[in-house]
Amino acid sequence: MRLLLTTLLLLSSLNAESGILDIKWPKPNPQHQKPSTPYPSVLTEGIKKTKLPVYIPNSFAYDKKMVVVANKDFYTISFLLQGATFMVSGDRTFQKSVTTSNSGFQKMMKASSNVEFMEEEGMRSANFNRHGVNYELLIECEQPKTDTRCKEDTFIRKLYSRLIMVGGRP
Amino acid sequence: MRYFLIAFIALALTACATKKNTKVEQTWKGKGFTYYPSGALKPSNSGRGRKGDNYIYAPNIRFPLAYAPAYINSQVYGIGGQFGARGSLCDQRNYKYPWKDNYCEKRTRGMPLCPSGVGHQGVDIRAKDCRNNTHYAVAVEEGVITYIGSYSVKLRGTSGRTYRYLHLNSRSIQVKRGQRVWRGQKIGRVSNNMGGTKTSIHLHFDIKQTIRFGSYSKSVYVPPYSSLVDAYKRLLRGKP
């Protein structure tokens, strides 16, 4: 399958193009969109122009020290934890378009909507596609070889399970 | 039948690539720069590279170190590395051409573009010499700094690609989260920073971009080597 992906990417190199992904917006969820306590302005102002569903783990939604970097096409929100940094990001752009009718390749791309938990240079990440948007969660530790948050998937899996939509607009 | 055809095409491409990958490119325009082709991992037991993929995934980026010379080769399998010949990481033989691709080098990380399905997500680059916290890494493209962690910095270029710089000295970081940077702007100095666990003195550099197929898409770490060869030639030419 990977050889197939390699081949298709090589053959499709002349079809390179970039653009905006189609987003399938979720139905409004009052619980997510209208929290009992307003989110801090650093969050609401930071993602005001972002044209994709914005997710963060619920336990971080009220952290006033978060740093938001965003525009209409992407957002990255990072949080300083004790001995670690956590980041959540979403991006609605693509840089390469592959055109093929091959069913095997299509099957592999469909599988990409499943979340992938990975080890990345001592960090832990979760990568997934939701509503047509690509998201990433990442935890980076000051002590990557001994901190269990970066040695194991448990912590990143927990954060993934606690994602809530806090904003974004079509 | 369809799978037979696909396998045939793949084998044909691999065969072509293998033939091309057996020798080092000759000295480049009198600058002394030589490099092994993309995907030709050295030593051969260091993993299976993407042989034959010379596609430039990030066209016209600036080279991520401020100046030449710089050396792309393995940290793990190089002299002094975990699986390399005995010696110092600062051995002069680690600071010589030809360049050796190390994208897809043996790792346990899931990598859909690597032939084995796992591998190194980017390439390791040594600066001019082994001095710590001396040589600057710079922005490869105009963009915005989206993230700074214990030992990593992420730059999202205006192209939408995300470039990751690892192991810069934390105190040398010249940028802040949310800061717009221009191409060639200093980011920080190359070091052995990996949080509390030190690594060798080098820059790990990788490129993440999204591939779309119909209504599906996937963000992947793409091969950076060919893009960097191209960028390095421009740097040597004095037009980074």
Yes or no, beta carbons of A84 and B112 under 8 Å apart: no
- pTM for this predicted structure: 0.89
Contact residues on chain B for A141, CB-CB shorter than 8 A: 150, 195
Q: What is the DSSP string of B87-107?
A: S-TT-GGGS-SSB---TT-S-
Please give the helix or strand (H or E) that residue A9 lies within, else none. helix A2-11
Question: B216–A110: do the CB atoms touch at under 8 Å?
Answer: yes
Say what the pLDDT of residue B10 is. Answer: 43
- Name the amino acid, one letter, at A128: F
CA distance A163 to B220: 22
Domain that holds residue A130: 2-167
- Could you give the ipTM of this predicted complex? 0.88
Q: Which residues in chain A are contacts of B54 at CB distance < 8 A?
A: none
Q: Confirm if B35 and B63 have CB atoms less than 8 A apart.
A: no
Number of domains in chain A: 1
Separation CA B120–CA A134 (nearest Å): 21
Q: What is the pLDDT of residue B108?
A: 85
What does the pLDDT read at residue B23?
A: 67
pLDDT digits (tens, 9 = 90+) for B170-228: 999 999 999 999 999 999 999 999 998 899 999 999 999 999 888 888 899 999 999 99
From the list A6, A87, A121, the residue facing B204 with the nearest CB is A121
- Indicate if the pLDDT at residue B32 is higher than 60: yes
The H or E element that residue B235 is part of is helix B225-236
Distance from CA of B30 to the nearest CA of A (A): 31
**Please, which pLDDT band fits residue A128 given cuts at 50, 70 and 90?**
very high
Residue of A nearest to B218 (CA): A112
Please give the Cα distance from A52 to A42 (Å, whole number).
18
A24 vs A51, A53, A55, A92, A170, CA distance in Å?
A: 12, 10, 15, 11, 9
Please tell me the predicted confidence (pLDDT) of residue A17: 80
* Whether the bond into B43 is cis, omega within 30 of 0: yes
Q: Using the predicted structure, report yes or no on whether residue A14 has a pLDDT greater than 50.
A: no
Q: d(Cα B146, Cα B180) in Å, to the nearest integer?
A: 9
Mean pLDDT of the residues in chain A: 87
Q: How confident is the model at residue B91 (pLDDT cuts 50, 70, 90)?
A: very high
Comparing alpha-carbon positions, the chain A residue that sits nearest to B12 is A7
3-class DSSP assignment, residue B220: strand
pLDDT at residue A114 is higher than 90: no
Residue of B51, B60, B219 best to disrupt the A interface, most CBs of A under 10 A: B219
Which string of b and e fits B131-169 if b means at least 16 CB within 10 Å?
A: eeeebbbbbbbbbbbbbbbbbbbbbbbebbbbbbbbbbb
Worst-scoring range by mean pLDDT, A108-122, B18-32, B37-51, B106-120? B18-32
Q: What residue type is A141 in one-letter code?
A: C
Q: How far apart are the first and last CA of chain B?
A: 48
Among residues B238, B194, B220, the alpha carbon closest in space to that of B62 is found at B238
Contacts 24+ apart (CB under 8 A), A22-27: A22/A132, A22/B215, A23/A51, A23/A52, A23/A53, A23/A92, A23/A131, A23/A132, A23/A133, A23/A170, A24/A131, A24/A132, A25/A53, A25/A131, A25/A170, A26/A53, A26/A131, A26/A165
Q: Which residues of A touch B113 (CB under 8 A)?
A: 2, 5-6, 9
**In this predicted structure, what is the pLDDT of residue B4?**
47
Q: Is B212 in contact with A96 (Cβ distance < 8 A)?
A: yes
Provide the pLDDT for residue A109: 72
- Cα B209 from chain centroid? 14
C-alpha B205/C-alpha B103 separation (Å) is: 10
Instruction: Look at B197 and A18 and tell me if their CB atoms are within 8 Å.
Output: no
Burial level of A66, CB count in 10 A (0-12/13-18/19+)? buried
* Position A9 confidence tier, pLDDT thresholds 50, 70, 90: low
Each residue of A41-56: b (16+ CB within 10 Å) or e? eebeebbeebbbbbbb
Which of chain B's residues have a Cβ under 8 Å away from the Cβ of A95?
Answer: 159-161, 209-211
Whether the Cβ atoms of residue A149 and residue A155 lie closer than 8 Å to each other: yes
Between chains, do A140 and B9 touch, taking CB under 8 Å as contact? no
The mean-pLDDT minimum among A123-127, B98-102, B211-215 falls in B211-215
Residues A62-80 have pLDDT tens digits of 999 999 999 999 999 999 9
Which residues of A fall within a CB distance of 8 Å from B160? Answer: 18, 73-74, 91, 93-95
Q: Cα(B145)–Cα(B143) distance, rounded to whole angstroms?
A: 7
Which residue does chain B place closest to A74, by CA atoms?
B160
On the question of a cis peptide bond just before residue B37, with omega within 30 degrees of 0, the verdict is no
The CATH number for B25-236, chosen from 2.40.160.10, 2.70.70.10, 3.30.450.20, 3.30.1330.30, is 2.70.70.10
pLDDT at A3: 52
For residue range B49-90, list pLDDT tens digits in order.
Answer: 999 889 999 999 999 999 999 999 999 999 999 999 999 999
